[in-house]
Structure 1
């Protein structure tokens, strides 16, 4: 569920198609920067995202590079910040999405006892970022689900709280429209942002759009906005997905158990369960991040 890990994976498929292995991990302590994703190539361990890009461009200098323009760096920073805020809002801020999708999809990635506190610590780590951008749910607007809530009598909603909820949701939509309109204009009628060949900017924007539209969000606030109002961005994201992620790629999982299935709840396969599986494997298992090992002229390397 980390958009920058997905961005890196898609870009690597453009730069070094199928010449790397994705290793699933939830342990950022393995990274030299303490952040995911990171890259391993032989004895080299590289992080964060910007350093990985520099390393790849140096190591893969003999390959045909994807097209970029001088001002792409500014757009990349804008996308990581602004589109990233929208994705994090959907995954971590909206209470229904956290309770019914995000938390269930990550909790079984942690061993006991970490699974009882690590997901909430992860969510808390995004709070200050989302608060500063006005995308964190206000107290009392989204109510935490309580155990045995089905047997409790329905709680009367204060009219003021209802008004505040509508106001806050509209404020989020306005902020999202401002950001998405920029990328719609930048893309124009083209297939890619820089002409007829995809670039790093295409991978980064597409990764964020995919994470806004593909998960089965219980609260589809921004999902509905994108699907109804931004068809060109959806077509662009689908185009990048088909180019980079539609075919299987080598993956393996660093797990506290030996079974991949043990990472998933053992309940019946609901729509959410199916999406979690698809995210982990079709999206190369980048639930929290990943390690990518890539193959240059020498031995295979790895991205986590």
Structure 2
């Protein structure tokens, strides 16, 4: 029997199987298409074979990352959630996915990674508690930087964090997009009828994060909760496809490894990787301290030090 495909993704919380929008998209699509995946929910991207998440480990094409590439690979393996769609529905799928990435995703990134209150009190804190020491000192900053770069790429050169007018427009576009999705869904179970498709995986992954996350400031959630059909849509998918996968266990609770732990056989050289991780992290921390001036190294010539010492001694003798 061929080895199963292995998916590496972020752990879940708040009743969701994973907290990352791209990971949730791939997981949901796999559920819809029936793809047999061995899922590794981890809290350290260094344990992913690509160093990124989501990442799909395959027998024939190695490691694939990015949600669109993973979904395309699953389609090639005959796990196609869009098999029954018409040509028009296929075109609509591409159009609405582009709409999500242009209008809703930027506001989602801003909510978690740019909004100062949310980032300090929730997002960075969550990742710092989850990621093992000492990696939690700098991996959240790397994710933060990547999120800002992604937002800049989507919104273009005109985007600026401190521009209140652009921020207001960003959330207005997102709320307009959510309202449009509510109109399109109507009373249907899924966006194309009674069966889920890839469009549902993309829409659900965005809306479920907005709906389930408890943030200090969540303007999108307030708007989404006024649209009952979208709230029922998200809850229905969670109950049907992820009933037992929401992570409700406290994040910081210690976990004793057992023979049944799913990740126990992931890394044949786990201890070596841990040692290397710690060494690299310590070097990075020392380098950061030196670059920022937290720690400085001063060299004092021995002759100068001796001369100063002799001067002090002479002064002491004169006083006597």
TM over 0.5: yes
Is the 1:90–1:97 contact (alpha carbons within 8 Å) kept by the matching residues of 2? yes
Q: Could you tell me how far apart the structure 2 residues matched to 1:206 and 1:264 are?
A: 28
Q: 1:137 to 1:116 in 2, by over 3 A?
A: same
Secondary structure at 2:225 match in 1: helix
Runs of 5+ unmatched residues, structure 1: 140-163, 252-259, 267-290, 292-304
Question: 1:60-139 alignment to 2 at 5 Å?
Answer: 60=78, 67-68=84-85, 69-71=89-91, 72-131=93-152, 133=155, 137-138=161-162
Contact 2:54/2:65 (8 A) holds in 1:
yes
Distance (whole Å) between structure 2 residues aligned to residue 112 and residue 248 of structure 1: 26
The answer as to 2:231 corresponding to 1:234 is: yes
- Report the RMSD for the aligned CA atoms in angstroms: 3.2
3-state secondary structure, aligned to 2:57:
strand
Within the candidate set 244, 247, 268, 2:244 is matched to: 247
Counterparts in 2 of 1:171 and 1:58: CA distance versus 1, 3 Å = closer
CA separation of 1:80 and 1:64: change in aligned 2, threshold 3 A: closer
Q: Please, which of 34, 38, 43 is the counterpart of residue 55 of structure 2? A: 38
Q: TM-score, normalised by structure 1?
A: 0.64
CA distance in 2, matches of 1:80, 1:67: 24
Flag the structure with higher helix content: 2
Instruction: Report the Cα distance in structure 1 between the residues aligned to 2:81 and 2:100, rounded to whole angstroms.
Output: 25
More divergent stretch after superposition (66-75 vs 215-224): 66-75
Is the contact made by 2:49 and 2:57 (CA closer than 8 Å) also made in structure 1? no
Counterpart of 2:39 (choices 3, 18, 22) is: 22
Cα distance in 2 for residues equivalent to 1:138 and 1:106: 24
For residues 47 and 98 of structure 2, the distance between their equivalents in structure 1, rounded to whole angstroms, comes to 25
Contact 2:22-2:66 at 8 Å conserved across structures: no
TM-score relative to the length of structure 2: 0.61
Distance (Å, rounded) in 1 between the aligned partners of 2:145 and 2:81:
41
Deviations 1:80-112 (A, max 9, x none): 443222221211111111111111111133343
Report which of the two structures shows the higher radius of gyration computed on alpha carbons: 2
Q: Which has the higher contact order (CA 8 A, sep 6+)?
A: 1
Q: Count residues in correspondence.
A: 227
Residues 93 and 210 (structure 1), Cα distance of their counterparts in 2 relative to 1, 3 Å cut: same
Alignment match of 2:178 (pick from 175, 180, 199): 180
